[in-house]
Structure 1
Amino acid sequence: MDIESNRKERTEMEEKISPLLKMALELGPLLVFFFANARGEWLGRHFPVLTEFGGPIFIATGLFMIATAIALSVSWLLTRRLPLMPLISGIVVLVFGALTLWLQNDTFIKMKPTIVNALFGTILLGGLFFGQSLLGYVFNSAFRLSEEGWRKLTLRWGIFFLFLAVLNEVVWRLFSTDAWVAFKVWGTMPITIAFTMAQMPLIMKHSLEPLAESKGKE
């Protein structure tokens, strides 16, 4: 099966998920994490079984792991496939979350964004070093770009992921746990959205098909 056939198949599968449901699957676990950390003591009083996890940050970690597993399962049931980036992120959440709960050390869950973003950034930039614009394999179901366009976009995203990794290290090491959780939910997402929107001129410049046509295929 060629790349174009794979692209069409992925597009058809992804159309089974409405934009609102897709957003809920992506942001839901993070919101659960934020709420559980903020209301951890309340949750512990009303649901004593959750205290088996430990304090608020550990309750939040346990529920974050459960919400992540549910989101991945729902995505699989609807499309029979798991996008690479959410899958890798989910695996790291489960592994580092388990270490956090087992050792009762929140350092592991705090390092999760660093590990994931550094991994993505290294993979993208490493691919460019070997002449491969790997971002094209992830997003070619959304739009088509020239080789130069994918190369530039891959470079920018690779650097951005490394920036997020460094930023996470700065925040969790210099600020409180509550501040880190709030930044993880309400800081990282706006920064990522702003960066994504800033790439639209590049995408439009190197697009191989009219923007309207691309949207019609989504």
Structure 2
Amino acid sequence: MTDRQIPGWVKPSLELGPVALFFLGYIYLKDETFTVGGTEYAGFIVVTALFIPLILASTAALWWLTGKLSQMQIVTAVLVTVFGGLSVWLNDERFFKMKPTLIYLLFAAVFFFGLWRGRSYLAMVLSETLPLTHEGWMLLTKRMAWFFVGLAVANEVIWRTMSTDAWVSFKTFGLPVAMFAFFIAQAGLLKAHTPEEKVEEE
């Protein structure tokens, strides 16, 4: 399937929509308890069970509409299914809360491996939309790798020491804000390492 052009709002809606619905579902059902087959399930587990087909459907829709998926989208869908499924099957919310930690550590490891080989795997994903010199990509990749490590640590600290309410709020709002702040903080790097020919064209 070839790449397809879609309205600019569709992709972020499909990526962020399931997370927003998870948050709303949790707020609505967090104090509820459901009995299925003689087993009691907290609202968090029920919302997790609903989130799995939702994220799979949104990922499938994104692939059908655009003809492609990023590695992060694929990995996220797989880990949501595996760890969300474990949380539902074992009736233990801890597995689903561990999922972001594993995602962030996985991508940090991939970035560090690329740096060790003298390559920027981040450039392979973003080079078409973000022109940088090789030195710039290597530096940005190193910072991004450590940023993912920091997110993994933050996720572990929050879900292990704080309430589920705090973790859901962190996952829904804190992580996107942290990502936005990270890229804003890289403005100096981006300016310093934009290829000269690109600057001249502008």
TM norm. shorter chain > 0.5? yes
Name the counterpart of 1:210.
198
SS at match of 1:54: strand
Number of matched pairs: 199
User: Structure 2 CA distance, aligned partners of 1:159 and 1:111?
Assistant: 19
Which runs of 5 or more residues in structure 1 are unaligned? 1-9
Name the counterpart of 1:151.
138
User: Are 2:3 and 1:29 equivalent residues in the alignment?
Assistant: no
Q: For residues 59-97 of structure 1, what are the alpha-carbon distances to aligned partners after superposition, in whole Å with 9 as ceiling and x for unaligned?
A: 221122122111111111111111111111111111101
User: Structure 1 CA distance, aligned partners of 2:83 and 2:59?
Assistant: 17
Structure 1 213/58 Cα, relative in aligned 2: closer, same or farther at 3 Å? farther
User: Structure 1 CA distance, aligned partners of 2:40 and 2:138?
Assistant: 44
Conservation of the 8 A alpha-carbon contact between 1:25 and 1:75: yes
User: Structure 1 CA distance, aligned partners of 2:76 and 2:161?
Assistant: 24
More helix by share: 1
Match of 2:51 among 57, 60, 64: 64
Structure 1 137/43 Cα, relative in aligned 2: closer, same or farther at 3 Å? farther
Which runs of 5 or more residues in structure 2 are unaligned? none
Deviation at 1:31, TM superposition (A): 0.8
Deviation at 1:141, TM superposition (A): 2.3
AA of the residue aligned to 1:192: M
Structure 1 44/20 Cα, relative in aligned 2: closer, same or farther at 3 Å? farther
SS at match of 2:41: coil
User: Structure 1 CA distance, aligned partners of 2:160 and 2:201?
Assistant: 46
Conservation of the 8 A alpha-carbon contact between 1:32 and 1:67: no
Match of 2:188 among 176, 198, 201: 201
Deviation at 1:132, TM superposition (A): 1.5
User: Structure 2 CA distance, aligned partners of 1:94 and 1:200?
Assistant: 36
Name the counterpart of 1:130.
117
Task: Supply the RMSD in Å over aligned alpha carbons.
Answer: 2.6
TM-score by length of 2: 0.89
Which sits farther off after the overlay, 55-64 or 109-118?
A: 55-64
AA of the residue aligned to 1:19: G
TM-score by length of 1: 0.83
SS at match of 1:19: coil
Q: For residues 8-50 of structure 1, what are the alpha-carbon distances to aligned partners after superposition, in whole Å with 9 as ceiling and x for unaligned?
A: xx9xx37x233321211121111111111111169889xx99x
AA of the residue aligned to 1:199: Q
Calculate percent identity across the aligned residue pairs: 37
Name the counterpart of 1:40.
29
User: Structure 2 CA distance, aligned partners of 1:43 and 1:83?
Assistant: 36
Match of 2:148 among 153, 161, 165: 161
Which sits farther off after the overlay, 135-144 or 149-158?
A: 135-144
Conservation of the 8 A alpha-carbon contact between 2:33 and 2:40: no
